[in-house]
Amino acid sequence: MLEAQDLACLKGDRLLFRDLAFRLQAGEMLRIAGPNGVGKTSLLRLVTGLALPEAGEVRWRGHCIRREREAFHGELLYLGHAPALNDLLSPLENLRFACAAGGDHVAEDDCVQALVRIGLENQLDLPARVLSQGQRRRVGLARLFLSARRPLWVLDEPFTALDVHAVADLAATLSAHCADGGCVMMTTHQDAPFARPPAVLDVGAFAC
C-alpha cells in the first residue's frame, strides 16, 4: 500500500540518507531503526508529506502522495514527537479537537471511552499542563482507538515515557490494527511485546 523509492533527505546542507526504498503491505508493521540523528523522524515526515524529499517519491495505493494529498491524509494518522496538546485545554477537549480538526466526526462519549481505556479516567477535566509526561503521551495515543478507519499509522517514538503495562497495551493495539489490515510504521528504541515481530528498516544503511 505504501511505497517509497529512491528517497533522499536533505537537512540544512547535510544529506541524511539517499536511495532509501521500502514497501509496506496491508497488515504489515515496519520499525525504523538506526542511531540518533540518522534521520528517522525526517523519514517519517517525508512519508507523511509534512516535508518534501530531495529526490524520489512516496506512493500510497499507487499514487504519489503529493498529487493525492487530501485522500492520503484522510487515511493517515501521524503522531509526532510532540503530543499536540494545548496546556490550557483538558485531555478531553484536546482529543475532541484533534479528531474534529483531522476531519473525523467522533462523539464525545467515544472520546471519553478512549481516554478511560488508556487509563486517564481521573484526568478527564484537568488542564493538560498538570499531566505527567507519560499521561500527556497517553492523551495523544488515545487517538489510536478512534482512528481504526485510518489504515496507515505513522508513529514517532510511541513508547517513550510509558510504563510497562501501557507499552504492552499499545503493542497489542498496534498488532490488532495490523491484524485488521492496517499498516503501522514507527520509530522506537524499545522492545515491545508485539504479536509478530515487525520488519526492520535500518536508516543507517542508507546514510551518506
Nearer to another protein, 69 or 189 (CB): 69
88 binds another protein (CB under 8 A): yes
Contact flag: residue 103 with another protein (CB under 8 A) = yes
Q: Of the candidates 73, 137, 138, 177, which one interacts with another protein according to CB under 8 A?
A: 73
The vertex-199 CA angle with 198 and 202, nearest 5°, equals 125
Q: Which residues pair with 29 in a beta bridge?
A: 184
User: Would you say 65 or 170 has its CB closer to another protein?
Assistant: 65
DSSP 207: B
Contact yes or no for 139/95 (Cβ under 8 A): yes
User: How far are the Cα atoms of 79, 151, 157 from residue 179, in angstroms, in the given order?
Assistant: 20, 11, 21
| Binding window for another protein (CB under 8 A); candidates: 26-34, 42-50, 176-184, 198-206 | 42-50
Assess 134 for contact with another protein (CB under 8 A): no
d(CA 170, CA 141): 8
Host H or E run for residue 162 = none
Please identify which residue in 34, 39, 83, 158 interacts with another protein, judged by CB under 8 A.
83
Least distance (Å) between residue 198 CB and another protein = 23
Binding region for another protein (CB under 8 A): 48-52, 70-71, 73-74, 76, 78, 80-89, 93, 96-98, 100-103, 105
